[in-house]
Amino acid sequence: MKLHSSIGMAALTIAALQSAPAYPAVMGSLVFTEPTATVAANEIIDVWVTLTLEESSDPLSYDRSSPPFYGWQEADFPTDANGAPFASYERAVLYTTRTCSDTFTLNCGDAGSQYSFSVPTANAWFTFDGTMNPGDRADFLLYQLIPDADGAEPGIYELHTAGLGLSVQGWDGSGNSIVEELFGFRTTCMDASCTFSREVAPIPIPAAMWLFGSALLGLVGFTRHREGVG
């Protein structure tokens, strides 16, 4: 995680375009850190996002030394999940999410996909431990895109919506497992930063191959010239 200083009005404007989090005390915005770039066909692509808390938000805390609620209190939790009341709570859980409308994969990873999604183990949302205060900004490595073994085909690939958040799991009165979001942020807005785009450049032909090809063409020309002599 990379922690940044407080935000300005531009980030607050983006925040206003975000979907409101389910847990109203933690408020902010989520955008792709580097929305566009050009990559090589065999390059692993890091999908970084920047989470910014509004100045009016409550702090966002997650204490890994205090399972199963990691510093949260039951009084903070929602009383029901989609209308089903919680009879008891089990644990708080960090999560990430994405839509399957991206063009890096086919239907979230079917055969023929140019890339596969991988969840990183460092600098990730799942490794968050600490507190973000109002106005703080932090970068998280949300996913890594692994190209096909033969390299991705040249072209432009896009991921439109990704997100992260915290949910609580528990049971209803009948012993059924239920889950509800405490807060969540999505890269959904009217700004260009809400689309993660990578252009895969064609694999360049090495200079030695160009020289070899030029030499062959020269040899063919010389041979034809010799055949025409005499």
Does 198 reside within a domain?
yes
- Compute the 3-state secondary structure of the chain and give helix, strand, coil in percent, each to the nearest 5: 15, 40, 45
Which residues of the chain are under the pLDDT cut of 70?
A: 1-24, 189-193, 204-230
For residue 180, report the phi and psi dihedrals to the nearest 5 degrees: -145, 145
pLDDT at 210: 45
For residue 8, report the phi and psi dihedrals to the nearest 5 degrees: -115, -170
CB atoms closer than 10 angstroms to residue 132: 21
Does 157 reside within a domain?
yes
CA distance 98 to 107: 12
pLDDT at 136: 98
Does 172 reside within a domain?
yes
In the chain, how many domains are there? Answer: 1
Q: Reduced to 3 states, what is the DSSP secondary structure of residue 187?
A: coil
Contact between 50 and 30 (Cβ < 8 Å)? yes
pLDDT at 12: 30
Does 11 reside within a domain?
yes
pLDDT at 165: 96
What confidence tens digit (pLDDT) does each residue in 146-156 have? 999 999 999 99
Does 215 reside within a domain?
no
Does 25 reside within a domain?
yes
Does 180 reside within a domain?
yes
pLDDT at 111: 81
pLDDT at 65: 97
CA geometry: angle 196, 3, 11, nearest 5 deg: 55
Does 68 reside within a domain?
yes
Range(s) of the domain holding residue 189 = 2-205
Contact between 115 and 45 (Cβ < 8 Å)? yes
What confidence tens digit (pLDDT) does each residue in 146-189 have? 999 999 999 999 998 899 999 999 999 999 999 999 999 999 76
